[in-house]
Amino acid sequence: MSYPEPRYLGEHGESSGVLRPAGTAPDLFIGASDADRVHGGTRVGYLATGGSTDGAFGLYRWEMGPDPSGPMPHFHRTITESFYVLSGTVRLHDGTGWRDASAGDFLFVPEGGVHGFRNESGAPASMLLLFTPGAPREGYFEELAGIAASGRRPSEEEWADIYGRHDQYMV
């Protein structure tokens, strides 16, 4: 394996880093009412989006409340997905079954790899989600948040449309 072709061709480098302080408020709430955003639902931090990394990757902090949440097994055709558990216990599906993962555990899933994640522990849990290359996952997350906030239950056809637009194939 070798390094990829250069993407920066300048002579001296530039000041282009972007710092996101630890205390930055979450960018998105999924499944939490306005009154319970501190403890309930899922808080998502857009640490680095595909748009902000010029398509290189997307990195998201996923902080789940104690109630069960997370997607069932699925795969993506265009992106890899990686999970790094920061705290609590997260159930990760590795394509062969569900495994309890705790702080420091890591799962990489290549394109086409079946995976899923759930917080079923009854306690808060957090992890980092990394997508490569950087796809516009924020649109998918925001659509899920809107559905959760509205309380509506999409039909199977609506779910198929949502999943199809966001490279999500349920198994």
Write the pLDDT tens digit of every residue in 136-151: 999 999 999 999 999 9
Does position 88 have pLDDT exceeding 70, yes or no? Answer: yes
67 Cβ neighbours under 8 A, 6+ residues apart: 31, 40, 41, 119
- Per DSSP, which regions of 49-123 are E strands? 58-64, 74-75, 80-87, 89-93, 98-102, 106-109, 116-118
Q: What is the pLDDT of residue 128?
A: 98
- Say if residue 28 is exposed, middle or buried (CB neighbours under 10 Å; 0-12, 13-18, 19+): middle
Residues 88/94/97/103 CA torsion (nearest 10 deg): -20
Domain 39-170 is found in CATH 2.60.120.10? yes
* Whole-number Å distance between alpha carbons of 95 and 71: 13
Query: Mean pLDDT throughout 12-18?
Result: 95
Amino acid at 144: L
Please choose, from the candidates 90, 70, 89, the residue with its C-alpha nearest in 3D space to the C-alpha of residue 148.
Answer: 70
Q: Among 46, 22, 75, which residue's Cα sits nearest to residue 134?
A: 46
When pLDDT is averaged across residues 95-119 and rounded to a whole number, the result is: 98
If pLDDT is split at 50, 70 and 90, which confidence band does 74 have? very high
The pTM for the full model equals: 0.92
Whole-number Å distance between alpha carbons of 73 and 163: 13
Tell me what pLDDT residue 9 has.
96
Question: Does position 58 have pLDDT exceeding 60, yes or no?
Answer: yes
Is residue 36 scored above 60 in pLDDT?
no
pLDDT at 37 over 70: no
Please tell me the predicted confidence (pLDDT) of residue 40.
Answer: 73
Inform me whether the pLDDT recorded for 39 exceeds 80: no
Mean pLDDT of the chain: 94
- Percent of the chain residues past pLDDT 90, beyond the cut: 94
Burial, 90: exposed, middle or buried (Cβ in 10 Å; 0-12, 13-18, 19+)? Answer: buried
